[in-house]
């Protein structure tokens, strides 16, 4: 790529501060459109981001139709992004996971945290599920696939480009195998447990690898007998782990496909999972009415706050769901409560549990807190890369 032919994108005065601090996003209202309007750029192009004083800041991908109109790719003026640049970034991400001990089942690429904006890649043995959320990465998908295929052991690459984020970039949704043969099932190995996910019914990229570290840290702290409830169970990650520790587990999900997979994964691991299909709030309210009680409860819902304007309703939803869960908890039971909403700050999550307990005249003691697994690294200057919150709390008798 010839840097002399790359268009420049100028920022307004002082709008480069966040970028100099390490963030990589440029919002459309930060662009000096008097120098060059956004209509002069094509989605997926490479641009040079410059300060109001014409100082080079970095190379970026651009989409003039998106609120996040540019995402920085590189700060090296003499080395504009290229196929080799993409190859090197993919291998940097791969080597990090290798150094952390991940072998064949893990998140390979985590977007901005791996300096590959808009790219998510999960590995399932010799299969990689790749998701591209930006026009620039869509334009360079062949180079990305080539880089992934150069990693030993990878034979199949599936583009599962059906995420909601693509619509913000004006990209169509599709699922396509670009290397190898389209798999019917994805196999996951997590510690001593094995799971299978039917690809056509898979959520996001198939498996929630981000919870693995929390399961490893939390479950050994919980007394492993009695009744357990996994709310929003998906394919049974928490449910199977609880059952393998000795609990009688009931799993709740609104998706019949998810529950069928959770039950099948239980059988695959030598345990039985009881399924409860329905809306989580309604199912839990019904269990409260029945006087049911559980010794361990996992609350791991989808993101209730996907946009800032959803905050009020989202906070109320988290509070209500946890409130119902606490009512179902035995006096000395344990609750694991999670949120994958970036817009729910970590410091506001414990007060949600406190209010949920207060409603039931109960108190909780937070035993441990967690976040996303190490294969989902956090970029210290991009708070959006830190999204998962998880709390392990012990119940107490009514107060």
Residues assigned a catalytic role: 340
Long-range contacts of 112-116 (CB under 8 A, 24+ apart): 112/24, 112/71, 112/379, 112/382, 112/384, 112/385, 113/376, 113/377, 113/378, 113/379, 113/382, 113/385, 114/89, 114/377, 115/73, 115/89, 116/86, 116/89, 116/90
3-state SS, residue 222:
coil
C-alpha distance from residue 304 to each of 20, 50, 216, 376, 392 (Å): 32, 37, 25, 21, 20
Count of residues making up the chain: 399
State how far the Cα of 291 lies from the Cα of 221, in Å rounded to an integer. Answer: 26
C-alpha distance from residue 216 to each of 192, 289, 344, 372 (Å): 11, 33, 24, 12
Q: Which residues contact 257 (CB under 8 A, 6 or more apart)?
A: 198, 201
3-state SS, residue 331:
strand
| Helix/strand/coil (H/E/C) assignment for every residue in 69-95 | EEEEEECCCCCCCCHHHHHHHHHHHHH
- For the purposes of burial, counting CB atoms within 10 Å of the CB of 336, is it exposed (0-12), middle (13-18) or buried (19 or more)? buried
State how far the Cα of 28 lies from the Cα of 32, in Å rounded to an integer. Answer: 9
Are 270 and 258 in contact by the 8 Å Cβ rule? The answer is: no
State how far the Cα of 43 lies from the Cα of 61, in Å rounded to an integer. Answer: 8
- For the purposes of burial, counting CB atoms within 10 Å of the CB of 88, is it exposed (0-12), middle (13-18) or buried (19 or more)? middle
Pinpoint the alpha helices (H) of the chain.
17-20, 83-99, 135-139, 141-149, 165-168, 212-218, 237-244, 256-268, 280-290, 311-327, 349-359
């Amino acid at each position: 790529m010839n840097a002399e032919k790359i268009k420049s994108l100028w920022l307004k005065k002082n709008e480069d501060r966040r970028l100099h601090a390490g963030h990589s996003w440029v919002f459309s209202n930060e662009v000096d459109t008097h120098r060059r309007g956004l209509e002069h750029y094509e989605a997926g192009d490479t641009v040079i981001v410059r300060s109001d004083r014409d100082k080079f800041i970095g190379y970026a991908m651009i989409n003039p139709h998106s609120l996040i109109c540019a995402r920085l790719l590189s700060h090296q003026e003499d080395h504009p992004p290229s196929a080799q640049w993409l190859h090197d970034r993919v291998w940097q991400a791969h080597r990090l996971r290798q150094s952390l001990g991940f072998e064949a089942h893990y998140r390979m690429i985590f977007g901005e945290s791996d300096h590959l904006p808009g790219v998510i890649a999960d590995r399932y043995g010799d299969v990689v599920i790749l998701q591209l959320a930006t026009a620039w990465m869509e334009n360079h998908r062949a180079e990305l696939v080539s880089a992934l295929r150069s990693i030993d052991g990878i034979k199949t690459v599936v583009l599962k480009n059906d995420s909601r984020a693509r619509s913000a970039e004006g990209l169509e949704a599709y699922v396509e195998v670009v290397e190898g043969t389209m798999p019917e099932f994805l196999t996951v190995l997590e510690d001593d447990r094995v799971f299978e996910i039917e690809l056509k019914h898979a959520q996001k990229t198939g498996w929630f690898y981000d919870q693995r570290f929390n399961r490893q840290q939390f479950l050994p702290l919980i007394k492993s007998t009695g009744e357990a409830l996994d709310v929003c169970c998906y394919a049974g990650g928490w449910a199977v782990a609880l059952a393998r520790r000795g609990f009688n587990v009931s799993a709740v999900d609104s998706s019949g496909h998810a529950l069928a997979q959770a039950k099948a994964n239980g059988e695959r691991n030598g345990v039985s999972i009881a399924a409860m299909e329905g809306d989580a709030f309604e199912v839990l309210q019904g269990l409260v009415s029945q006087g049911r009680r559980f010794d361990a409860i996992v609350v791991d819902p989808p993101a209730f706050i996907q946009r800032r304007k959803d905050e009020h309703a989202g906070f109320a939803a988290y509070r209500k769901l946890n409130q119902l869960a606490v009512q179902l908890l035995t006096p000395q039971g344990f609750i694991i409560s999670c949120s994958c909403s970036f817009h729910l700050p970590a410091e506001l999550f414990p007060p949600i549990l406190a209010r949920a307990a207060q409603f039931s005249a109960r108190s909780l003691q937070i035993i441990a807190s967690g976040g996303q697994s190490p294969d989902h690294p956090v970029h210290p200057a991009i708070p959006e890369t830190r999204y998962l919150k998880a709390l392990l709390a012990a119940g107490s008798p009514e107060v």
